[in-house]
Amino acid sequence: MTDIVRDAPLSWRDLAAVAAGARLILSPATKDRISHARALVEAIVAKGIRAYGVNTGVGALSDTVVDVSRQRQLSRNLIMSHAVGVGAKLSALEARAIMAAAVNNHAHGYSGVRLDVVETMLDLLNAGFAPEVPSQGSVGYLAHMAHIALLLLGEGHVLADGERLTGAEALKRVGREPLVLEAKEGLSILNGTPCATGLAAIALSRAYRLLSWTDIAAAMSFESLNGQIAAFDPKSLALHASPGLRETGRRLSALLANSEILAQSAGARTQDALSLRSVPQVHGAARDLLAYVGTVVDTELRSVTDNPVVSGTEAAPEVFSEAHAVGAGIALAMDALAPAMGLVASMSERRTDRLVNPLVSGLPPFLAADSGANSGFMILQYTALSLVGENRRLAAPASLDAGVTSGLQEDLICHPTPAALKLLALLDNAEAILAIELLAAAQAADLRTDGLAKAPATAAVWRAIRAIVPSYADDRPLAGDVETLRPLLHATPIA
C-alpha cells in the first residue's frame, strides 16, 4: 500500500486505507502545527488562564479549578474514569480507523497535545496493532476513545496478527515507554468526533462495495427472471437528472450486455415488477446519498473538533470553549444512510422472493431440483425477510434518542457514534441478504434448461460463486453457504 502523508486533512477514503494497513506519516509542517499548539497550552498553564479541562474539571465540574500540581493527575484520571465500554469489541478496521481520525484531529494544530503523544499513536497504528475497544457505552465518543487512550499509558490491550498484547507490551514492541500525560492531553485524546468519523469511514467503504455487489446481484436476478432490458435504455434513463441513477443504469447495461436470455425475452411483457425495473432508481438514489454522506464525513475531517481549542501566540494565547465535538452532522448523515442501505437490501430480498416463488419465476418451485422432497431455498428467503425486518428497526434515527448527562451540563446528545454503529450492524445484515440473493440467482442459472447463454459479465460472477459454493440439492445446511460467500463480498466486485 502507498503511504499516506498527513499534510492536508485526511479524507474518509484515507481513513479506510489506513485502517486496512496503509502507513500514515506526518509531514514536517504538520509536526510544527502540533508543537505550536502544545506551546500555547503551556503558555495558558503558565499564565493561569482559565481553560476547560486544562486547569478545570470537565462536564459539570467545569468551574472547579485544578491547580498545576494536579493537572497530570487530571489527564490520567480522565482516561481511567472514562474507560467504561462494554459489549463486543469493535473490529480491527473500525478501531484503527478511529485512531487514524484521532491523529488527523490533533494534526490540525489546535488541540495542544505533545508531538510525542501523536507519534506514539502513529507508531502503534503503523505497526499494525488494533486496539481492543468495547463497542457499547458511548452516547458520543468518550468511552471508545478512552479505551484507545489506555494504550498510551501502557494499559488496555491490542491485537497483533492474532496475538493479544497489553498496552505496555505493544509500546515496547514499537520502542516506546508508557506516557505520562500533561495538562489537557487526557481531555484532548478523549474529545472530538474521531470515533464517529472513523466508524463512518468504514461504513462508507462497506456501503460502496456492497452497493456495487448489489448491482451485480440485481443483474443476475433480472436475467434469471427474463427481465425487459428496455427499462435500462440509456435514452430513457437520461431523462432523469440523478447522477447515481445514470451510473447504475450504465453498470446494469454493461453487466447484461450480450445476454441471449434477455434478447429472447425482449417484448414478452410490457413491464416487470418494480423490484426489477426500478433498480436504477433505487440504487441510484442510494449512490447519490452515499456521495453526499462522503462530503459530510470529509467536512468533519477537515474541521477541528476538540474542545477547548487553542489559538494565538505564546505571548497572547487564546482558548475557546465551544461545541465542535457534538458531531450532529455525522449523526444525521449516518441516520440518513441507514434507511437508504436498508431499502437496497429490502429490494434484494424482494428479488430473492421472486426467484423462489413459482407463481412468478417460471423456475422450479423454491429453486429445488426435486420439489416436494426438497425444500430448496424456501426457508432461506425467510432468513432474508427476517433480516429486512431487523434492518427496519436499525434504521430508526439514533440522533433523536436524546438524553441528559453530567448533571445537566451536557443536556443535548446527538449520538453520532451509536448512529454509525447502528449503520454498521445494518450493513452486516444487508451483506447476508445480498449473499442470499446471489446464491439464489446462481441456483436459478443452474436450473435453466433453454440453453441460452448468459451475459458474459453475469456468467463470470456465476463461475466465481460456483468456484466456492456448489449447486444446492438439500444436501447441507444452507447457512454455511451464506457464510462461505461473505468473503467474496468483501473483495472488489468482479464486474
**Residues recognised as catalytic:** 52
Spatial CA neighbour of 217 closest among 335, 61, 344: 344
| Residue 287: partners with Cβ closer than 8 Å, 6 or more residues away | 211, 243, 244, 245, 247, 248
Q: Which residues pair with 160 in a beta bridge?
A: 163
Secondary structure of the chain as H, E, C letters: CCCEEECCCCCHHHHHHHHCCCCEEECHHHHHHHHHHHHHHHHHHHHCCCCCCCCECCHHHCCCECCHHHHHHHHHHHHHHHCCCEEEECCHHHHHHHHHHHHHHHHCCCCCCCHHHHHHHHHHHHCCCEECCEEECCCCCHHHHHHHHHHHCCCCEEEECCEEEEHHHHHHHCCCCCCCCCCCHHHHHHCCCHHHHHHHHHHHHHHHHHHHHHHHHHHHHHHHCCCCHHHHCHHHHCCCCCHHHHHHHHHHHHHHCCCHHHHHHCCCCCCCCHHHHCHHHHHHHHHHHHHHHHHHHHHHHCCCCCCCEEEECCCCEEEECCCCCCCHHHHHHHHHHHHHHHHHHHHHHHHHHHHHCHHHHCCCHHHCCCECCECCCHHHHHHHHHHHHHHHHHCCCHHHCCCCECCCCECCCCCHHHHHHHHHHHHHHHHHHHHHHHHHHHHHHHHCCCCCCCCHHHHHHHHHHHCCCCCCCCCCCHHHHHHHHHHHHCCCCCC
Grid-cell match 494499559, residue found: 155
Give CA–CA dist 271/400, Å, rounded.
41
CA 183 to chain centroid, in Å, comes to: 33
Give CA–CA dist 437/430, Å, rounded.
11
CA count, 13 A, side-chain hemisphere, 9: 19
Terminus-to-terminus CA distance in the chain, angstroms? 23
Give CA–CA dist 348/492, Å, rounded.
19
